[in-house]
Amino acid sequence: MSETLATTVTPAGDPAADPAADPSYDPRTGAQHGSVPHTTPEHVAAILRRAQSAASVIAGTSPATRQGWLTAIADSLRTHEDELVRLAGEETGLGADRLHGELAKCATSTVFYGAVAAEGSYLGAGTEGIGGDSTLSRWNIPLGPVAVFGASNFPFGFGVIGHDVASALGAGCPVIVKAHPAHPRLSVRLAELVSDALERAGAPVGSYALVVGFDAGLQLVDAAEITAIAFTGSQGGGMALVQRAAARGVPVFAEMGTVNPVFVTTDAAADSAQIAAGFVGSFTLGAGQFCTKPGLLFAPAGAGIFDAVRAELRQAPSAPLLTAGIARGYRAGLTGLAEAAAAAGNAGADSAEADSAEADSAEPDSADGYAVDPQAFLVRLEDLHPGSRLLEECFGPVALVCEYEDAAAALDALTRLQPSLVASVFTGGPDDPESAGVVGRLLGQVGRVALNAWPTGVATSWSMQHGGPWPATSRSEATSVGAGALDRFVRPVAVQNADPAHLPAGLHPDNPWRIPRRIDGKLTLPAS
């Protein structure tokens, strides 16, 4: 199946000598190890044609068939775990424990999306009489080839493999992935494994392919064959995709992320040391490169949360960021936050932090690669106004703490934040009088509220909602994790007066796929 792969790994060389390649860097040292050539326009065009041919074949397969494909991918990932973790470590610097965990979760999630497809609710199948001899049947069909633009920060979770790829395949769509330039060699290897697994499992040629390079990505966005786009990354990148694809009406499911807030009630603040430890652990996880990173914590004044956070930070290790660009962005972001915090009148407890941010803003020693230190800033409630630099996401291990005098005012400030993917609320338990009100207010702002839990854990499950109102995502009805992820890649069709020959097997009278169906208006389950 190597013909569906766009790239081969070239030996290490000077990237300046080959502008048509993605160089591979080790974030731990900054050293380059090889590069991967960009996919040519002709090759992208051939990949698109194959994907379109595959689309109608895949659309005719049963969900259980595609479940088999996804299981085969997961098996291959598990078989090659050590090799993949090593390669990912060389290109992300994320550390073996994190990468083993992410790969294991990815394999489990891939199997889960197969189970969601096989369960069949996503098909939205139903049939009914509509008067006289007329009938109407409805179900969801796959959109067609999907382009996936993966993220730098989850080499296994969101990209060449992971949630977008598995949910699109589960829904019956061929997938073409644009490799993230942060891990080109890993991308090529993963794509080989996925292509081989799909071929062995019987998926048609064209079900899956990888392309490399910015221009190849643009070609996907503009291609008539591409029917939907999934993106995980920055607001700038996501918005540019949304705008470009809008011209031909192609949906872009961009999970961009903003600042995720944490609210600590008065009752919960008693255990400030535990909250501070959890907060630092959460916002420095993966070197703070999570779209679910808690970026702004509201806690009652007088509980000493910010001091406790600073104490925790003294023990927090430095860690390499994913790319030189992210490291530069982080240092610039710290400078901006320090200036904004200082301008906002923070001459007190946080000035030391602001100073250290300034001191940190030089480029790192090359031997340290892209390593940075975690940081926290104290901010005032009244400075969290629309347009403030304090409210922009800063990718990396930095967060803000706001110590409020008045919970209601703090909640009002929360509603001035951009909507976000997730918020955490720490309460004193079910009897905490603030609990229900805070959650109710936050639900209007976010996709998920985590009660007495940190936002960085995202379970792949039936009820997960990993999304949120614009501009946290481009589509508030969508989720990129959990069973609902398949819904992004289908659309409903109805056929009036259909014979069985016009319908998927799931709507045949004997329900061979054993899926939930709405018959004459009544939701019915398959006999168990």
Asked if 271 and 422 touch (Cβ cutoff 8 Å), the reply is no
Q: Is 518 in the site for a second copy (CB under 8 A)?
A: yes
Give me the least distance between CB of 147 and a second copy, in Å please. Answer: 16
C-beta pairs of 503-508 under 8 Å, 24+ apart in sequence: 503/127, 503/137, 503/139, 504/123, 504/125, 504/139, 505/62, 506/63, 506/120, 506/123, 506/125, 506/139, 507/125, 507/126, 507/127, 507/137, 507/139
Cβ proximity to a second copy: between 29 and 235 the closer is 235
**DSSP code string of 488-502:** GGEEEEEEET--GGG
C-beta pairs of 271-275 under 8 Å, 24+ apart in sequence: 272/299, 272/303, 272/304, 272/305, 272/308, 273/308, 275/299, 275/305, 275/308, 275/426
Neighbours of 266 (CB within 10 A): 17
Give me the least distance between CB of 336 and a second copy, in Å please. Answer: 24
Residues 92-131 that bind a second copy (CB under 8 A): 119, 121, 124, 126-128, 130-131
CA distance to 81, 112, 232, 341, 501, per residue, from 105 (Å): 12, 10, 18, 38, 40
Residues 453-492 that bind a second copy (CB under 8 A): 453, 459, 461-465, 467, 469-471, 474-477, 479, 482, 484, 487, 490-492
Q: Is 430 in the site for a second copy (CB under 8 A)?
A: yes
Residues 205-244 that bind a second copy (CB under 8 A): 242-243
Residue at 427: amino acid letter? T
- Which stretch in 133-141, 268-276, 279-287, 385-393 sits in contact with a second copy by CB under 8 A? 133-141
Q: Which ranges of 180-287 would DSSP assign to H, the alpha helix?
A: 184-201, 214-222, 235-246, 272-283
Give me the least distance between CB of 429 and a second copy, in Å please. Answer: 9
Cβ proximity to a second copy: between 31 and 240 the closer is 240
Give me the least distance between CB of 518 and a second copy, in Å please. Answer: 5
Active site annotation includes 255: yes
Q: Is 57 in the site for a second copy (CB under 8 A)?
A: no
x/- mask, a second copy, residues 244-283, rule CB under 8 A, reads: --x-xxxx--------------------------------
Q: Which ranges of 388-499 would DSSP assign to H, the alpha helix?
A: 407-414, 435-443
Size of the site for a second copy (CB under 8 A): 73
Using CB under 8 A, which of 2, 108, 415, 496 touches a second copy? 496
Cβ proximity to a second copy: between 17 and 501 the closer is 501
Using CB under 8 A, which of 31, 45, 57, 136 touches a second copy? 136
C-alpha to C-alpha distance for 318 and 366, rounded to whole angstroms: 15
Cβ proximity to a second copy: between 110 and 137 the closer is 137
Give me the least distance between CB of 223 and a second copy, in Å please. Answer: 15
Active site annotation includes 402: no
Cβ proximity to a second copy: between 250 and 280 the closer is 250
Q: Is 64 in the site for a second copy (CB under 8 A)?
A: no
Half-sphere exposure of 495 (CA within 13 A, CB side): 13
CA dihedral 464, 470, 472, 478 (to 10 degrees): 30
C-alpha to C-alpha distance for 500 and 522, rounded to whole angstroms: 20
Asked if 226 and 48 touch (Cβ cutoff 8 Å), the reply is yes
Name the phi and psi angles at 179, rounded to 5: -65, 135
Give me the least distance between CB of 121 and a second copy, in Å please. Answer: 6
Using CB under 8 A, which of 84, 99, 171, 449 touches a second copy? 449
C-alpha to C-alpha distance for 422 and 259, rounded to whole angstroms: 9
Q: Is 495 in the site for a second copy (CB under 8 A)?
A: yes
Asked if 176 and 258 touch (Cβ cutoff 8 Å), the reply is no
Cβ proximity to a second copy: between 331 and 475 the closer is 475
Kindly name the residue from 91, 255, 353, 393 that is annotated as catalytic.
255
Using CB under 8 A, which of 450, 486, 511, 513 touches a second copy? 450
Residues 68-87 that bind a second copy (CB under 8 A): none
Residues 6+ apart with CB under 8 A from 275: 264, 268, 269, 299, 305, 308, 426
Give me the least distance between CB of 487 and a second copy, in Å please. Answer: 8
Kindly name the residue from 106, 173, 291, 402 that is annotated as catalytic.
291
- Which stretch in 31-39, 63-71, 371-379, 517-525 sits in contact with a second copy by CB under 8 A? 517-525
Using CB under 8 A, which of 348, 501, 509, 527 touches a second copy? 501
252-255: strand order across its sheet: 208-211, 175-178, 146-149, 228-232, 252-255
Cβ proximity to a second copy: between 110 and 195 the closer is 110
Give me the least distance between CB of 498 and a second copy, in Å please. Answer: 6
Give me the least distance between CB of 463 and a second copy, in Å please. Answer: 4
Q: For residue 479, give both structure tokens.
A: 């989720």
∠ Cα 166 167 171 (to 5°): 115
Cβ proximity to a second copy: between 64 and 498 the closer is 498
Using CB under 8 A, which of 75, 428, 452, 514 touches a second copy? 452
C-alpha to C-alpha distance for 241 and 243, rounded to whole angstroms: 5
Give me the least distance between CB of 139 and a second copy, in Å please. Answer: 9
- DSSP tag of 124: -
Cβ proximity to a second copy: between 6 and 425 the closer is 425
Neighbours of 270 (CB within 10 A): 12
**Which residues are the active-site residues?**
255, 291
